[in-house]
Structure 1
Amino acid sequence: MGEGFNFDDSIEGIWDKLGEWMDSLILSLPNFLLAILVFSLFVLGAKYFGKILHKVLRFKVRQDSIREITIKIIKVVIVAIGFFVALGLLNLDKVLTSVLAGAGVVGLAIGLALQGTLNNTFSGILLSFLPEIQIGDWIENNGYAGRVIEINLRSIVIREADNNYVVIPNSQVIDAPFKNFSRTSRSRVMVNCGVAYNSDLEMVKRITIQTVSELYPQKGNEEVEFMYNEFGDSSINFVVRFWTEVTSNRDILLARSAAIIAMKKVYDQNNINIPFPIRTLEFNNSLNIQKPISGENEL
């Protein structure tokens, strides 16, 4: 029959094991502190290198989104290098090799689980290098309109006219059409109006084109266009189209407002009526209160 359990020997074995771990920790402490110091230096280096790179790229690259995404990627790469160097100082090369060997399987699993996130990430990289959309542009996308404040690896942030922020996933911006008001310095503005049926249509056209042309001088091949488009219920309707310098939806509204004010003034000076719908109620059958109702005397 074997010997019974010896409690003292077990305690002694535990203490021996703890002593070995303590000796190993003491021996590894300098490398551990050095690894922390090296990793911290890489993190600080990435931060300051990003600032220097931002100053350099500011004169080399005009597009803000390209500068920001480039700086973010380089900072992540520097921090990752520092992490691997720190693992090497801790003599964890074998562990690192095992981690990298299993990274393929883990990466596949993560990729399947985070398809939407990865899609937004790659879309963010594409948006950062897309010249048709930049930080500071006024765009319309997915039913929202505002100025682009930030383009990151997950979403695009726009500030609407009411000063509220809207965060749109990058994949939705890439997959859906968007309208950029800031890519062209001049755009065409349209004003719809109508005049009374008894108006001199030729005179209305002439003074409208003259008024708008004086307010917004046209350049090159540009011209003020005036076209009647329908016989309305109470007016003959037309549209005026002219070119002016606009880079946002607000600029379009201001240009349209100024044109409407100028057109109304010149119409008033020339006795041109802009009619509005009028409803007339006619009562052809009048009620005679003196005439007795049939059957009233039979009661």
Structure 2
Amino acid sequence: MNNKLINAWNKMYEKLESWLDSIVINLPNILIAIFVFIVALVASKYISKLAEKILNKSKLQPSMKNLISKFISIAVVIIGLFLILGILNLDKALNTILAGAGVAGLAVGLALQGALANTYSGIILSYIKHIKFGDWIETNDYQGEVIDIDLRAVTIKQVDNNLVYIPNKLVVDNPIKNYSTTAQSRVILECGVGYESDLRFVEKLTKEIIVSNFEAVQEKDDVLFLWREFGDSSISYELRFWINSTSALEVAKAKSETMILMKEAYDKNNINIPFPIRTLDFPKDFNFKKVTQET
């Protein structure tokens, strides 16, 4: 038993001694590899900052600039790792790592299909010009201002100041309504006046209200006024005009202000905005007292 222990110890000692010899022999390469690794880390940081400065001169979105600079930084570190493996004479290990990375990459890709789809969609959203920071958009039944686009989700701030995080894949796969693609937005308002009203006067007065209170409307012809139909209790019309804003909140404010101004002007000119009413026609010989007594 003692001989076996002694033999095992001798073999282990010989193995450790061979490892120590290998370390001593390869010590210069190890020191060079450590130096290369440090240089790669420092270089990745400075090259990333340099790439950001160059990209800031382009018209790419901030999210796309950050993404490209990060990829460049990662690429520099990977190149440094390949150099280190070459310095340490681990070429065979490199081939093994690459083969294993291929199999692992396939397994990870199958397991993370949703996450990878969001990442790919995030790259697309960062590159296209249809959506950018500050735009007011509507997608997937949510509406708000775009404040961030990353590799996972698009972040929008709603009118009530709540943040909504929408996965990139849903934004790419579904329709997007961008209110900020033009410099102006259209306000659409529907209303109605009584049948006794002078329709031409109503139209003239309403247009004057809009021209007097909104800078984007220079003359009456800029206001679209359309009579729509003879309703049950009123003659309805549709009013359309432009404002100098792309925010849905500003459109809502303009619509609210228009309603106040119209109500004030209509009241001063005895123009009635009727509400639905029901007229009951009773026979001439109808006896209300008798019906009341019976009930």
Range into which the TM-score falls when normalised by the shorter chain:
0.7 to 0.9
The answer to whether structure 1 residue 287 and structure 2 residue 293 are counterparts is yes
Q: For structure 2, which runs of at least 5 residues remain unmatched after alignment?
A: none
Deviation per CA, 1:147-199, whole angstroms, max 9, x where unpaired? 21222222222222222222212111111001111111112111122222322
Tell me which protein shows more helix as a share of its residues: 2
Deviation per CA, 1:32-58, whole angstroms, max 9, x where unpaired? 454344334323332333333323322
* Aligned counterpart, 2:51: 53
Residues 129-208 of structure 1 mapped to structure 2, 5 A cutoff = 129-208=127-206
Residues 66 and 11 of structure 1: is their aligned pair in 2 closer, same or farther, counting only changes over 3 Å? Answer: closer
The secondary structure found in structure 1 opposite 2:242 is strand
* Aligned counterpart, 1:273: 272
**One-letter amino acid of the counterpart of residue 21, structure 1:** W
The secondary structure found in structure 2 opposite 1:287 is helix
Which deviates further from its counterpart, 173-182 or 59-68?
59-68
* Aligned counterpart, 1:249: 248
Which deviates further from its counterpart, 239-248 or 228-237?
228-237
The answer to whether structure 1 residue 83 and structure 2 residue 103 are counterparts is no
Q: Give RMSD over aligned pairs.
A: 3.1
The answer to whether structure 1 residue 113 and structure 2 residue 142 are counterparts is no
Size of the aligned set, in residue pairs, is: 287
Matches of 2:206 and 2:38, distance apart in 1: 70
Q: Tell me by how many angstroms 1:28 deviates.
A: 4.7
* Aligned counterpart, 1:8: 6
Q: Tell me by how many angstroms 1:123 deviates.
A: 1.5
The answer to whether structure 1 residue 41 and structure 2 residue 39 are counterparts is yes
Deviation per CA, 1:92-141, whole angstroms, max 9, x where unpaired? 22211222234433333332222222222221221111111112211111
Matches of 1:213 and 1:288, distance apart in 2: 60
Q: Percent identity?
A: 46
Matches of 2:180 and 2:217, distance apart in 1: 19
**One-letter amino acid of the counterpart of residue 292, structure 2:** S
CA contact under 8 A between 1:61 and 1:67: conserved in structure 2? no
Runs of 4 or more, structure 1, over 6 Å off, are 279-283
Q: For structure 1, which runs of at least 5 residues remain unmatched after alignment?
A: 290-299
CA contact under 8 A between 1:229 and 1:239: conserved in structure 2? yes
TM-score (norm 2): 0.84
**One-letter amino acid of the counterpart of residue 65, structure 1:** S
